[in-house]
Structure 1
């Protein structure tokens, strides 16, 4: 091919060059008879418990029969198989089959895989518009996980794997004790958890659990419980896939509940930490108490610090915090009196170490451990109900009138008796009065020697 180039000047200048073009022969086939995938995208569902070498999908290759079997044909996964879970083969019918290589599918870790497959053969025999396809694999969730209870962190080995709680003996029916929680890694309904109390000798008669929230509440009065029944011990069952009796898993957790009174309570004072701040670190405070005492420690509440003023009234300081707690003997699982030798020996003898570690963990000053303060009884004025007051006055007046009449009658009767007595005395015999008698003195005188 001669190519001429010229400018637009005057006079016009130009030059000519020769461009050779070579024609290369390539063996091709029409697209309608070329090899390729039957579809450009596939959607497949596979259960997460599928076994190794399981057939996932057979991908049909069009026009594979129209060519001789000696023509090479392979399939490969180009993208999406980073973990090496899948592989492809060519079947005897010259189609591609996608299989599972490793039985490691987990819906909770990855719910979908998108694979890009390519068909490899002679370049002149493949249809370029159909030599690749996309396969989207949806991993179906199956109930392959059991519910797992989440227990409060504790340094005491006895407390691990158990729930400990306490409830006042005079509490009303329906008072919350504690909350249990279990998680299931399955999704959807298979991951929902339902709670129930397993029937036992003691605890199941007095407590119930919310089937959805896991909150344990009292269902009977506790003011007449005998000491031999304590502590309450029962188990809570957590079951997944609620509403059906098949394809379900369950697990149990033991619960220990004690009755708490003022003689059991202790208060850890943090003088310069607000309740909001200490509430976030209450787990660390409990861990310190358990580490130094060797007892199971439960935190009843976190409140503003209380102190006793000079006039014996209890006042409140919102800049400080009172951590109310109690101790449980790990061997008997019974709640301990704060004045017991076990508490004094295990806890009160290590207060300096406790204050040091608590202050370091909550970044505030732990200063004291004491019993709950007893406030002085205030003098209360009796409120007068003005609706009842007039009737009270009438009743009082009536009583005064009745007592007055009784007094008058009594005085009259007494006066009549007195007058009768006086008249009777006057009628009695009276001794006559004699005139005075004068005796002449003896005028003789005697001389004595």
Structure 2
């Protein structure tokens, strides 16, 4: 539920972590680091991580304030556009602002940092996690049809996850904490890939009962991404032969943490049960605190009984994997904002061809489409073809340098493999992105 916005420093620093899932009093005492952990309860355990980030980086609070301001502008502009029945603008700066159109492709790099054979999870278990992310964020998950009071608010985010690479790193470290050492090769972990191009996921043996933690937009690029307990990575339902810790074995830890990576807060606002916190989303009910396990239908807190009770089936609560299965429309808007022009993760949309400019989208095109050896650009009248920069990207966002623009309106595509691509055409001020099929 959205309340008055506070600065990121107050909202995040005083509340502790909005990023991590841990478990306090939650690991069976007989369990050691070298065997599959037994997790008894999902909980938050990253307050020290966030406080350390804020203390070490004085500019973080200011950056998060700016990101929140951009998010609120986007959400307000989108609501206004929907009332008018028109297109959904991004940016909200007036004039020819960017539009987020199509799906944002997010290439994922999985860093498997392991000490034992069990921690070196299989490719099948990894792929099962990518599949869960796509289902959950696109509202294609089978359990979305479960009857619940907020089913009309369930929404999809315009994102698609693709597995770009799996990096396996043997380490002498038996158990990792939230100090981000797992993200640093000099400390026994594995370095992040370019955070403007890839979502980095680390799978490792997190100690102290942790399930995972994420970094919000605005943090340092070298530590950007999500860290997860190896036995909470992936889905037993999709890959039964993996290594899992029940009841966190359906891939929802990643859904929750990637939600944070896309700027979602915990649904109860991290206020310690005071009913005064906020997740900065207008359509999530005010909730007294986190929920565990699988609450009974109608479970309520604060004053939300009349609206349907707690939204405990939301991915941003702390219920068991099988009992969380939705994002709300407001959360989907908030996630979309980070990819819009000026958003903290807009580079993913740019690489995907999902951002275009209203000023040029209707005046620039390519033909023939589909094409083979070459395509021609249809440019505005009297336009100088030599001024345009033309780049081609595959559906994962990788630039296809074998496609050559001659500066005279012709793009040579003969060397491209058959398939779908995005052609980005820019004059330095405005950019048009066209979907193109190579025959």
TM-score by length of 2: 0.17
TM-score by length of 1: 0.17
Q: Which is higher, the Rg of structure 1 or of structure 2?
A: 1
Q: Which has the higher contact order (CA 8 A, sep 6+)?
A: 2
Higher strand share: 1
Higher helix share: 2
